[in-house]
Structure 1
Amino acid sequence: MDVNTIFLLFFTCFTGNIKSVSGTRSFSIDYENNCFLKDGKPFQYISGSIHYSRVPQYYWKDRLLKMYMTGLNAVQIYVPWNFHEEKQGVYNFSGDRDLEHFLDLANQTGLLVILRPGPYICAEWEMGGLPAWLLQKPYIVLRSADTDYLEAVNTWMAVLLPKMRKWLYTNGGNIISVQVENEYGSYYACDYNYMRHLRTLFQYFLGENTVLFTTDGNTDKEMTCGTLEGMYATIDFGTDTNISQGFSRQRRFEPRGPLVNSEFYTGWLDHWGDQHAEVDSQKISTMLAEMLSMKANVNMYMFEGGTNFGYWNGADHDNRYRSVVTSYDYNAPLSEAGDPTEKLLNIQDTIRKFRDIPEGPMPPPLPKMAYGLVTLSMVGDISSLLDELSPQGPVKSHYPLSFEEMKQYYGFMLYRTKLPRDLPESTPLICPLNGVHDRAYVSVNGVFLGLLERDRILMMNVTGEQGDQLDVLVENMGRVNFGSKINDLKGLLTNLILGTDVLKDWLIFPLDIDEAIASGWPQSGLRQPPPGPVRGPSAGPVFYQGTLAPNGLAWDTFLRLGDWTKGQVWINGVNLGRYWSNRGPQQTLYVPGPLLSPSQPNNITVLELEGAPLHTRVVFLDRPVLSSSVSKT
């Protein structure tokens, strides 16, 4: 830790202590009367989860106001470590990452904050919020007392927690309690030394009087491994759980103190290939009323889900790898676009029976626009665009290297080699030990031949001649965010075997697609399509571009690529996320209005990975399509 960091820590702690001593605000646990105390008076929170990382900054105030007008008196938020430190030692708290601005807006709105700073958060977020650069140490044991892991955690918390100290309620802010780790009882390690270390770390930076808590699932094993003396044990459960049984389990670990359901599930997540999740609105209202009548403190997860923009979606791996979709709508009371739903109005009616809610109307949905059809033109396949997408050139390696070894943590990477011999007949290309993480698009001399997919497609056939160029584009579909497999390496993790030959002597191209598109490519003229008729669609990974003409409005809209297959979309340089139309259930991508220009052409860039339709059209709708009857693949 350098001298500047030590000085910052000392100064923050010193000034924070002055505020604590001079202030009269307090927040604590009353074990005798089984409640929280706020400024010495009994307090019950009715909270909702919202993730600032999934909602554009320009809509934070709108969402918080709607939550306040519903009758909530608090919001619960995660802090995704990897969102703020994508590259080790480089911290970003600006724009959509301006956590303190979000806290300030919540404070202005009249909402208290329940802070969940991790370091692990789950949240169906990429790697559960842990930065992928941790995996550069191949034997690191995440979420444990492993020295490499704790060193990284200590450094991160020494940056984050001093920023949060001034926002504690006792210091004049609005943070009333702070979660340590997250659902640790669900993790195999069960390392009490790790949890003790975190407890000490949080107390050092936030003060020993700060209310620290844990949250765990509704089983004895989870509560046993996830709880620790000095941190108040809370529980989470949804509409499939008996309330009395749920809280009786909390009582076995916290015999006295407030009842707390830290995650009361209003909906659920979707994976590609799932049916769209829905949770009954009336059941939520009925259970909420029952918990509130018991004087329980309830946080509804989610109150607004938002969107996994870019590459931030996580994944699960139980029996097989399953990637989370781009939309995190979650069937929540506020939709992905922040619109009040019937579920929200039912919850508002329920809360009204237990406390006064703010007077005045609920803010209406923001306007939406169906901008209509746009025809895209082909720019070129990835293999022909490497000067733009990988300007630093390839790395040579005898055997494949992972994303983490290449220090490219998200998106796509191209592996290139040559066929070692003539293959006049179909020859199997195999990645043994399921070593493709997560999808590999294979072409020979620019002709797309097929793909390999983790846990699903482990072999394909290749033909060609000795010396032909073999390109393997590998897509990271999101790291596992829950369970024992969160150390989820990406890329080609084992050799590719072609017939009886082990493929060697690779050129590995790290692709910085986002930087190229944010800089104006392909519309900027760095590379223009050849003159003549518009080129039709081509199989395999191909870029397309077009423009949405301005019409004087910049309203929210939803982009549908109904006849396209699978890929990624950027609008005006911003990565909207993944689409996978033929797997579903999600069929539209949410486009926040402020991304669009009302007066200038709006650039659309699509990377279609498998095959575009002949018409190469996309359509902008005024409503989402998150559920489809597309058959599962």
Structure 2
Amino acid sequence: MGARLLYLLLLGLLYEQPRGDRSFTIDDDQNCFKKDGVCFHYISGSIHYFRIPAIYWKDRLMKMYMTGLNAIQIYVPWNFHEPEPGMFNFEGDGALEHFLDLANETGLLVIVRPGPYICSEWDMGGLPAWLLNKKDIVLRSSDPDYLSAVNSWLSVLLPRLRPRLYNNGGNIISVQVENEYGSYHACDYSYMRHLFHTFRLYLGDDVVLFTTDGNTDRELKCGSLQGMHATVDFGPADDAKKAFDLLRRYQPTGPLVNSEYYTGWLDYWGGNHSTASPQMVSHGLQTILEMGANVNMYMFEGGTNFGYWNGADYKEQYKPITTSYDYDAPLTEAGDPTEKLFALRSVISQFLPVPEGPMPPPTPKYDYGVVKLQKVGDITDFLDILCPGGPIVTRYPITFEDAKQYFGFMLYRTRVPWEIPDMTSLSDPFNGVRDRAYITIDGSFTGVLERDHVRMINVTGSAGDWLDILVENMGRINFGSFVNDLKGLVSNLTLGVDILTDWLVYPLNIDGLIAENWPHMHRNHIIMAAQPESHTGPAVYTGTFKTAVTGDTFLKLFKWTKGQVWINGFNIGRYWPDRGPQVTLYVPGNILSNREMNNITVLELESAPEILLIFLIDRPIISKNDHGF
């Protein structure tokens, strides 16, 4: 251990850069940050690079700069950068250092929140699902298995940040340790101290380390720690003076900081689209700035939960978060300035000089028209290519994590054990469906079991029929005490009073196959498997379209029910207009081609319309209440 510690200390010295007069510190006497020896206040906005295609990063950063912000705040999602243990991705849309450099070129300072837990309404709060391979692991605690994984991750991430610290010539002015830890049940100070010393080891003694917690005694008590600057979060509907007075009990001196001033809120499937008026948000910002406090607006642009990256909350029941993370933020999901942005800019101009010149315009949006799809086949027609290694044979169901299939879909198959001529209950007595199960018997779609909502359906069938249950992971819980959210069938199902056994479990590599241009390069499958007479149950549909220009668009699946969409192999996310509030899916123009045919693949899970049409339109519909839906 001594030799390893010496190695890490030498590594830290290697990353030190000549600092000259650059410094970013806390002055407890004047209750302010000091940048290069002068009192400094930041007005910042949150942006999630991992929710925005890299090609648009510069555009979004420039719009934030032109609003008058002098800083941005980012999370770093561990699971996005280490999808498998020891396999790291810092390229493409994960090019963290490139993003930091772009912010620096734009003139923006950066506040980094690297976790290891980040919440962010992101799958499992940014923690990798592969941690759950250890069944008894205690997340966000001093559990040795958890700390071992955390130490490994931080040994990769933090050295990447060190040369970009402000004191070392970069633009990172402060770094958060963990995230809203006071909202977690553990209240493990040993864990927080371990993280504090680890951050100091890799980042040095000069960087400002801080914590963020909600504005209650319990949250600030369990989330703050001596040696780190405590900050608070609250929204425009809260009493700013009361929140900062409470913060002063735990942070008696130094600058006041609201690390998450809410400009809007997230959306859940089945809820209403959240909004916050420009007047209320701008008035709250003015109040904070008049108190001499520092502020970060969460979010300034939300972006999109592409693929399967959305998280979920558990408040009496499981509540998955929508694909859109628009957040009613000052910049829309597609990066367009809003009335709220200009209202905030007006407030900021009273406290900081706002750059002169026009705000960059919205990116072009296009109506590409109607695309006709055709059915390729039911999902069960392709088990041999979606699961080429064959099924896992098991007496009782296993979880996604058992199969090391962390996202997407798995199919559970067994035989109907006896004749069921009369309607008989297929039930989930222990609420073990995580999160939706699509039931087919002998090829006929029968219904859906849904976590916390639908625990039983009635079925009929014959002895020996295939009973197929396609289970969808709808996103792991990202906040609170239940982030160890296993997926799949986590308990037994019963038919009548009998427990179903003897399963064949197929982990489905749908994304991998589509990335190889399936089914478009395999037209024989379309011809062989086409079944236009049946549009119910989990099935694959495809289509193509041409365009002379490429730009952002929005996919509207009118009268489709629920599923997943890929365009040119890129998973643009989940659709569920039947439940809402989100109706359209954002399609970034960078994934489209104006030279070749654009391929669309749809996995509809329940029921497709009789006429298989989808629409590519030039405006979003993120609320079912929007005019025109």
Tell me if both proteins adopt one fold, taking TM over 0.5 as the criterion. yes
Compute the displacement of 1:388 (Å). 2.1
1:558 — aligned with what?
A: 554
Q: Given the alignment of the two structures, is residue 309 of structure 1 paired with residue 300 of structure 2, yes or no? A: no
Q: Distance in 2 between matches of 1:256 and 1:7?
A: 35
Given that residues 266 and 279 in structure 1 are in contact (C-alpha distance below 8 angstroms), is that contact kept between their aligned partners in structure 2? yes
Q: Distance in 1 between matches of 2:431 and 2:579?
A: 21
1:48 — aligned with what?
A: 45
Q: Distance in 1 between matches of 2:168 and 2:278?
A: 38
2:356 — aligned with what?
A: 359
The one of 586, 597, 603 equivalent to 2:599 is 603
Between 606-615 and 528-537, the greater mean CA deviation after superposition: 528-537
Given that residues 377 and 536 in structure 1 are in contact (C-alpha distance below 8 angstroms), is that contact kept between their aligned partners in structure 2? no
- Equivalent residue letter for 1:262: S
Post-superposition Cα deviations, 1:353-410, rounded to whole Å, max 9, x if no partner, equal 1111111110000110011111100001111111221112111111100000100000
Given that residues 378 and 536 in structure 1 are in contact (C-alpha distance below 8 angstroms), is that contact kept between their aligned partners in structure 2? no
Compute the displacement of 1:530 (Å). 1.9
2:447 — aligned with what?
A: 450
Q: Given the alignment of the two structures, is residue 498 of structure 1 paired with residue 495 of structure 2, yes or no? A: yes
Q: Given the alignment of the two structures, is residue 14 of structure 1 paired with residue 10 of structure 2, yes or no? A: no
Aligned residues: CA RMSD: 1.6
- Equivalent residue letter for 2:31: N
1:386 — aligned with what?
A: 383
2:73 — aligned with what?
A: 76
The one of 245, 248, 252 equivalent to 2:245 is 248
Instruction: Give TM-score, length-normalised by structure 2.
Output: 0.98
Aligned length: 626
Describe the SS at the equivalent of 1:77.
strand
Q: Given the alignment of the two structures, is residue 577 of structure 1 paired with residue 576 of structure 2, yes or no? A: no
Q: Given the alignment of the two structures, is residue 626 of structure 1 paired with residue 625 of structure 2, yes or no? A: no
Distance 1:388 1:245, change over 3 A: same
Q: Distance in 1 between matches of 2:101 and 2:328?
A: 27
Compute the displacement of 1:239 (Å). 1.1
Between 606-615 and 424-433, the greater mean CA deviation after superposition: 424-433
Compute the displacement of 1:533 (Å). 8.6
- Structure-to-structure mapping, 1:175-574, within 5 angstroms: 175-525=172-522, 527-530=524-527, 535-550=532-547, 552-574=548-570
Compute the displacement of 1:531 (Å). 6.7
Post-superposition Cα deviations, 1:589-617, rounded to whole Å, max 9, x if no partner, equal 00000110012110000000000000110
Given that residues 271 and 323 in structure 1 are in contact (C-alpha distance below 8 angstroms), is that contact kept between their aligned partners in structure 2? yes
Q: Distance in 2 between matches of 1:370 and 1:392?
A: 42
Q: Distance in 2 between matches of 1:483 and 1:534?
A: 45
Q: Distance in 1 between matches of 2:117 and 2:436?
A: 26
Q: Give the share of equivalent positions with the same residue, in percent.
A: 60
Q: Given the alignment of the two structures, is residue 89 of structure 1 paired with residue 96 of structure 2, yes or no? A: no
Compute the displacement of 1:433 (Å). 1.1
Q: Distance in 1 between matches of 2:588 and 2:207?
A: 37
Given that residues 26 and 40 in structure 1 are in contact (C-alpha distance below 8 angstroms), is that contact kept between their aligned partners in structure 2? yes
Q: Distance in 2 between matches of 1:483 and 1:159?
A: 27
Q: Which runs of 5+ in 2 are unaligned?
A: none
Given that residues 537 and 613 in structure 1 are in contact (C-alpha distance below 8 angstroms), is that contact kept between their aligned partners in structure 2? no
Compute the displacement of 1:89 (Å). 1.1
Post-superposition Cα deviations, 1:23-68, rounded to whole Å, max 9, x if no partner, equal 3210000000010000101100000000001000000000000000
Q: Distance in 2 between matches of 1:151 and 1:299?
A: 32
Q: Distance in 1 between matches of 2:189 and 2:146?
A: 15
Between 427-436 and 225-234, the greater mean CA deviation after superposition: 427-436
Given that residues 83 and 129 in structure 1 are in contact (C-alpha distance below 8 angstroms), is that contact kept between their aligned partners in structure 2? yes
Compute the displacement of 1:500 (Å). 2.2
Q: Distance in 2 between matches of 1:196 and 1:531?
A: 61
Q: Which runs of 5+ in 1 are unaligned?
A: none
Compute the displacement of 1:525 (Å). 1.2
Between 278-287 and 57-66, the greater mean CA deviation after superposition: 278-287
- Equivalent residue letter for 1:161: L
1:101 — aligned with what?
A: 98
Post-superposition Cα deviations, 1:481-518, rounded to whole Å, max 9, x if no partner, equal 00001100000011111112211111100001000001
Instruction: Give TM-score, length-normalised by structure 1.
Output: 0.97
- Equivalent residue letter for 1:401: I
- Equivalent residue letter for 1:584: G
- Equivalent residue letter for 2:389: Q
Compute the displacement of 1:532 (Å). 11
Describe the SS at the equivalent of 2:62.
helix
Q: Given the alignment of the two structures, is residue 118 of structure 1 paired with residue 120 of structure 2, yes or no? A: no
- Equivalent residue letter for 1:625: I
- Equivalent residue letter for 2:593: S
